[in-house]
Amino acid sequence: MKTENIFIALTVVAWIMFVGFCIEAGVLAFNVVWSWFIENGLNIKSMGIELRELLSFSAWHHTVFGSLLTAVAVFKALLLYEGIKLTGKLSLKEPFSEWVTERLKRMADYAWQAAVASVCVEIYAEWLKKQTITLGISFDNDWSGFLLLAGILYVIASIFKRGIQLQQENELTV
């Protein structure tokens, strides 16, 4: 399989995931805002999340927890958006450029922010469980994956920075 085809396949998958996370973020944000006006809140069980019990426990906790879940989805969507831009414009003839390094750094930042937000969600969810609230969310250590991804992306960005220097040296060798 040619590298270009792999990039196209990756772009398509990233677009699908990006749309998915955008919808998730939108629904979660709407759910938070909706709960300020309607007492029962939205039924979003289809997304694997049940926050109505939390809403009946405390509107304040519901807003904070919902906002954190939205933040995680937004960071995941932003991470994928940068990935889409990267795979769409990356040139294999001259891969080392400031633009690519900047995209990789941004992706690493978003992965790091998603990891931090995921940790907050998990700690918060644990605390809420102790208050005997059923959330209907299953966590499978999301944050550790994002933390690892952020680390790998930072390393790749650093390698690209050195690559730019080598490419410039090569271009300025007569």
Partner 1 sequence: MPLIVNLDVMMAKRKMSLNELSDKVGITLSNLSILKTGKAKAIRFSTLEAICEVLDCQPGDILEYRNS
> Quick check: 162 binds partner 1 (CB under 8 A)?
no
> Quick check: 173 binds partner 1 (CB under 8 A)?
yes
Tell me whether residue 10 is exposed, middle or buried, using C-beta atoms within 10 angstroms of its C-beta: 0 to 12, 13 to 18, 19 or more.
middle
Helix (H, G, I), strand (E, B) or coil at 137: coil
> Quick check: 92 binds partner 1 (CB under 8 A)?
no
Contact segment (CB under 8 A) with partner 1 among 23-31, 49-57, 85-93, 164-172 equals 164-172
* 156/174 Cα distance (integer angstroms): 29
| Smallest distance, partner 1 to C-beta of residue 127, A | 58
- Buried b / exposed e across 69-96, counting CB within 10 Å, b at 16+? bbbbbbbbbbbbbbbbbbbeeeeeeeeb
Contact segment (CB under 8 A) with partner 1 among 73-81, 97-105, 130-138, 165-173 equals 165-173
Selected binder of partner 1 within 1, 37, 130, 172 (CB under 8 A) = 172
Do residues 72 and 121 make contact, with C-beta atoms less than 8 angstroms apart? yes
> Quick check: 169 binds partner 1 (CB under 8 A)?
yes
> Quick check: 94 binds partner 1 (CB under 8 A)?
no
The site that binds partner 1 (CB under 8 A) totals a number of residues, namely: 5
Mark residue 48 as left, alpha or beta (left: phi above 0; alpha: psi -120 to 50; beta: remaining).
Answer: left
> Quick check: 1 binds partner 1 (CB under 8 A)?
no
* 42/19 Cα distance (integer angstroms): 21
Q: Name which of 98 and 126 has its Cβ closer to partner 1.
A: 98
> Quick check: 132 binds partner 1 (CB under 8 A)?
no
DSSP string for residues in 65-88: HHHHHHHHHHHHHHHHHHHHHHHH
| Smallest distance, partner 1 to C-beta of residue 95, A | 20
Selected binder of partner 1 within 5, 60, 140, 174 (CB under 8 A) = 174
Instruction: Give me the residues that bind partner 1 (CB under 8 A), please.
Output: 168-169, 172-174
